[in-house]
Amino acid sequence: MHNFNALNAEMKQIAAFFLATFALFFMSCHNSSKPKVLVFSATKAFRHASIPFGQAAIRNLGLANGFDVDTTEDATKFNDDTLQEYRAVIFLNTTGNVLDNHEEIAFERFIQAGGGFVGIHSATDTEYDWGWYGDLVGAYFVNHPDIQDADLVVVDSAQPATRFLPPIWHQKNEWYNFRNMSTNVKVLLKIDERTYKGGTMGTNHPMAWYHDFDGGRAFYTELGHTNQSYSDSLYLKHILGGIVYAIGTGTLDYSKSKSQYPPDSSHFAKTILSQGTFFEPTEMTILPNLDVLILQRRGEILLYKNDTKKIQRAGFLRVYWKSKDSTVNAEEGLLGICKDPDYTHNNWVYIFYSPVDTSVNRLSRFTMKDDSIDPASEKIILQFYSQREICCHTGGSVAFGPGNLLYLSTGDNSTPFDEPKQPYVNRGFAPLDGRPGHEKYDAERSAGNSNDLRGKIIRIKMKADGSYDIPDGNLFAANEPKTKPEIYIMGDRNPYRIAVDQKNSYLYWGEVGPDAPKDSFDTRGPRGYDEINQARKSGYFGWPFFVADNAAYHSYNYSTGVSGPAFDASHPVNNSANNTGIKDLPPAQPAFIWYPYDSSAVFPEMGAGGRCAMAGPVYYSDLYPDSSRLPDYFSGKLFIYDWIRNFIRIVTLRPNGDFYKMEPFIENLKLAAPIDIEMGPDGRIYILEYGTGWFHKNPDAGLSRIDYIK
């Protein structure tokens, strides 16, 4: 190591190159002001003690090499007006979700205008739910071993950030392992994993890289954890080379910025259509004339009339909605409804419900006539056994996708609660009690059972006579032993609300997850998570053996309290005595989005608190009339929401459907337990709110519509 004050002699050669670069920059400008960089060091997670050392070192580099330096931890500086003052922005050991949605867009626009980015060390431990940033920085942090010495190998010795380094550079640092490593970056340094302990990436383990990105330039170095780094002459030359590359030689041109800010919340209005009239509403369907059919769990079918703005009764089905056990709340009843794609001509609606006289859940088709459901028109499509001795988990959402394919979600019909008078119980982890007489505490018999329609999402192709065909691409073939061909998705706990992309048929659902508050990886498994899932094809999505990103539960002996091995996501095996299906299950698929009770480092926009994940529609502006639809900004985006946390989020997808970014929909929108969100034929969002009390008639239960005011 060398003292920073003794650097001048060592840096004369490289400084000449930098000065020549800046001379070109000055000649291209309309004035002779020096370029300026912004050093941003905000942290929402771990805070590095080296941050002030890094700030001081970069200020000194600026003084010695002809550029100005501002330092800040104020994210509000990320706006168009302020960022136009800078040629590059340096993320110095940032962590967590440091920018809000508008600030993120401002930074995207800055790079697109020709700005530069430098990421130092934990810049890769930042903004996990912002896909653009992940592409910019080049990778995301996974973990690291203890601080130790290691050898870095120079891959590219021609770049200003490495041209002065020895072929093997010995350094002491905190060495990151990465995920989502971009294949588009140009690698400058790799680490030799043979020279330290804890590397997990093998022979291709990049540690510094650069690339042109989205109209600008990006440089990242993993080094910079320790205080001592910022008095090391070679390291300072290294980051100086990256800064000079990021500054570039051009000027900002905001006419090239393509990222758009979302419409201001002041242009949206929540229009209350009816409030205080509902008693446990569940699901709705919006008819072509903008009337709305609404189910109430206890059996009543209501109709909101768009012309009169009034609620009237449209029918009643006798349903099982109350347990005989006064200590247990049932969740069954009227559960799901969807109009037929050709409703204008046939007036058919599909209802999923729990008939009072037999212990099944049933999907039936009814005909709507004179604003009423005709009970005599019922055509039973399918039904399956459901135990009613103890709650929970019904699922029950009905949706149509392209090709007249009907999707139906079903819950695992298992209790999450601890069994009374038993020494060894679930404690909020997966219910895996396969002992005789304890079936209600074993989701292996339902969600993990290929021969049972519970804990699934069913996909069938409806026919005019009320029967159905099995479409190609379901999880199991029609004649495969010990399976049900109706199964499209297997391994669900409580997929309470689903939606189908009307252009590409991708299926989305909210998965209400288990309740364990803390991880117990050595004995039981992960803490509880809710999930938003996406299926582009059929698959097994893990429950009850996995949750979230395939975090595995352990097998567990409920007689002895002894834990077995964790389940294998690549080859899950269902050995429960209650399993009537195949034992060797398909590989488990990880969740699309997952979040616990606590704040999520991976998806921080989901917040913290109680959980009840729901999946809403994917919006396409060209499917709706221009006079009433949402702005084009929302086109192609997925709407998701949470019943308990009372918010709506918008998910931007990559062209292949991968997650790209999450943002709020309408800041400060007041909701009271949104239980269903649908896109109406007018291109407006309709919201059905259950209200803030469980199993009650809530005064804040209601039906509303989001109107965009141009």
594: number of Cβ within 10 Å: 24
Q: What was the pLDDT predicted at 326? A: 75
How far, in Å, CA of 474 to CA of 471, rounded?
A: 7
Q: What was the pLDDT predicted at 325? A: 76
Which are the contacts of 200, defined by CB distance < 8 A and separation ≥ 6?
A: 142, 143, 177
b/e map 97-109, b = 16+ CB within 10 Å: bbbbbbbbbbbbb
Q: Do strands 68-72 and 36-40 pair parallel, antiparallel, or not at all (unpaired)? A: parallel
Both tokens assigned to 286: 């919006």
Q: What was the pLDDT predicted at 18? A: 46
The identity of residue 173, as a single letter, is N
Q: Tell whether the model's pLDDT for residue 13 goes beyond 80.
A: no
Query: Beta partners for 218?
Result: 117, 211
171: number of Cβ within 10 Å: 20
How far, in Å, CA of 68 to CA of 60, rounded?
A: 10
Residue 90 contacts residue 120 (beta carbons within 8 Å):
yes
Q: What was the pLDDT predicted at 1? A: 37
pLDDT single digits (tens) 665-689: 998 899 999 999 999 999 999 999 9
Residue 192 contacts residue 150 (beta carbons within 8 Å):
yes
How far, in Å, CA of 543 to CA of 363, rounded?
A: 23
How far, in Å, CA of 586 to CA of 541, rounded?
A: 9
Residue 617 contacts residue 499 (beta carbons within 8 Å):
yes
pLDDT single digits (tens) 234-273: 999 999 999 999 999 989 999 999 999 999 999 999 999 9
Residue holding tokens 């069938």? 460
Q: What was the pLDDT predicted at 33? A: 81
Q: 23 pLDDT band (50/70/90 cuts)?
A: very low
Which has more pLDDT, 694 or 414?
414
Which are the contacts of 288, defined by CB distance < 8 A and separation ≥ 6?
A: 343, 344, 681
How far, in Å, CA of 257 to CA of 293, rounded?
A: 44
pLDDT single digits (tens) 312-340: 999 999 999 998 777 778 899 999 999 99
Q: Do strands 186-191 and 674-679 pair parallel, antiparallel, or not at all (unpaired)? A: unpaired
Query: ω into residue 544 within 30 of 0, thus cis?
Result: yes
Name the percent of the chain lying above pLDDT 90: 92
pLDDT single digits (tens) 586-617: 999 999 999 999 999 899 999 999 999 999 89
What mean pLDDT is reported for the chain? 94
How far, in Å, CA of 588 to CA of 574, rounded?
A: 12
Q: What was the pLDDT predicted at 17? A: 43
**Residue 248 φ/ψ region, left for φ over 0, alpha for ψ in the -120 to 50 degree band, beta for the rest:** left
pLDDT single digits (tens) 430-483: 999 999 999 999 999 999 999 999 999 999 999 999 999 999 999 999 999 999
- In this prediction the pTM is 0.92
Distances from the Cα of 257 to the Cα of 36, 253, 281, 499, 579, angstroms: 20, 8, 45, 33, 56
**Half-sphere exposure in the Cβ direction for 38 (13 Å, CA):** 23
pLDDT single digits (tens) 76-132: 999 999 999 999 999 999 999 999 999 999 999 999 999 999 999 999 999 999 999
Q: 21 pLDDT band (50/70/90 cuts)?
A: very low
Torsion sign (Cα): 254, 255, 256, 258 = positive
Give the three-class secondary structure for 508.
Answer: strand
How far, in Å, CA of 679 to CA of 669, rounded?
A: 17
Q: Tell whether the model's pLDDT for residue 186 goes beyond 70.
A: yes
Q: What was the pLDDT predicted at 32? A: 47
Distances from the Cα of 635 to the Cα of 177, 269, 401, 641, 667, angstroms: 36, 19, 18, 17, 19
Q: What was the pLDDT predicted at 26? A: 39
DSSP per-residue codes, 285-331: EE-TTS-EEEEETTSEEEEEETTTTEEEEEEE--B--S-SSTTS---
Residue holding tokens 């980015």? 117
Residue 397 contacts residue 350 (beta carbons within 8 Å):
no
Residue 109 contacts residue 216 (beta carbons within 8 Å):
no
What domains are defined for the chain?
A: 4-256 (3.40.50.880), 265-708 (2.120.10.30)
Residue holding tokens 């002699």? 9
Average pLDDT of the residues in 630-640: 97
423: number of Cβ within 10 Å: 8
Q: Tell whether the model's pLDDT for residue 14 goes beyond 70.
A: no
Q: Tell whether the model's pLDDT for residue 19 goes beyond 60.
A: no
How far, in Å, CA of 683 to CA of 619, rounded?
A: 8
How far, in Å, CA of 578 to CA of 580, rounded?
A: 6
How far, in Å, CA of 432 to CA of 455, rounded?
A: 14
DSSP per-residue codes, 77-104: G-SHHHHTT-SEEEEES-BB--S-HHHH
DSSP per-residue codes, 317-375: --B--S-SSTTS----SEEEEEE-TTHHHH-EEEEEE-BTTSSEEEEEEEEEETTEEEE
Which are the contacts of 555, defined by CB distance < 8 A and separation ≥ 6?
A: 432, 563, 564, 565, 567, 575
